[in-house]
Amino acid sequence: EAQVTQNPRYLITVTGKKLTVTCSQNMNHEYMSWYRQDPGLGLRQIYYSMNVEVTDKGDVPEGYKVSRKEKRNFPLILESPSPNQTSLYFCASGWQASGELFFGEGSRLTVL
Amino acid sequence: GDSVTQMEGPVTLSEEAFLTINCTYTATGYPSLFWYVQYPGEGLQLLLKATKADDKGSNKGFEATYRKETTSFHLEKGSVQVSDSAVYFCALRSPNAGNMLTFGGGTRLMVKP
């Protein structure tokens, strides 16, 4: 089954404790992206990757890191999480030409 | 820069009512336009799309027409069901932007039996 898989789905952590949210897709997509969804703010792009070893900042990259060592994986790293990073995070992937994105089910992160 | 503006929700309708969710956009060139839907507890999924002016995208009884003269892509459905309750996002992709989508803020639809 074609899918984008994120883990963990839910996480409560404390300020400053490094965490990684994993994202994996099985559709051989070149493009992958991370978004955060906050009430009243819609979806905002954090980072994206056009292909392996190619990443770039989105609209709200501060406090986040990403890497793209393999085509299927695109982890989101919070080196020192802060309460303002409490949010619902979505990973998405797609083929370059189509514009259609496939989304994971989301990871709800709470930073205390 | 590119932007998408949607009507604010929530939109509350009774079952079988007619639905319109307004979406207007600002972009250079000729963008592709999309509607995504997010059901409770799930990620977004593509509902329909249109790639050029006057195209009509349709799926699951929903329709939207790409109106270049009014820079709009309003979502419509003739008879909504309780199962249509979700958040709807309008989005655009500018030419040569690859998969980079600009999303609107989302509109929550609640359909009552």
Query: How many CB pairs below 8 Å do chains A and B form together?
Result: 54
| pLDDT string in tens for chain B (113-residue length) | 888 999 888 999 999 999 999 999 998 888 999 999 999 988 999 999 999 999 999 999 999 999 999 999 999 999 999 999 999 999 998 876 666 788 999 999 999 99
A70-83: average pLDDT: 97
A27 interaction partners in chain B (CB closer than 8 Å)? none
* Contact criterion met (CB < 8 Å) for A99 and B101: yes
DSSP assignment of A56-80, as one string?
A: EE-S--TT-EE--SSSSB--EEESS
What three-state secondary structure class fits B76?
strand
Q: In this model, does residue A99 exceed pLDDT 80?
A: no
Q: B37: which strand partners?
A: B45, B88
Out of B32, B104, B105, whose CB is closest to A99?
B32
Out of A42, A45, A98, whose CB is closest to B104?
A42
Whose tokens are 């994986």? That residue is A73
Chain B residues whose C-beta is within 8 A of a chain A C-beta are 32, 34, 36, 41-46, 49, 89, 93, 98-101, 103-106
A26-43: average pLDDT: 91
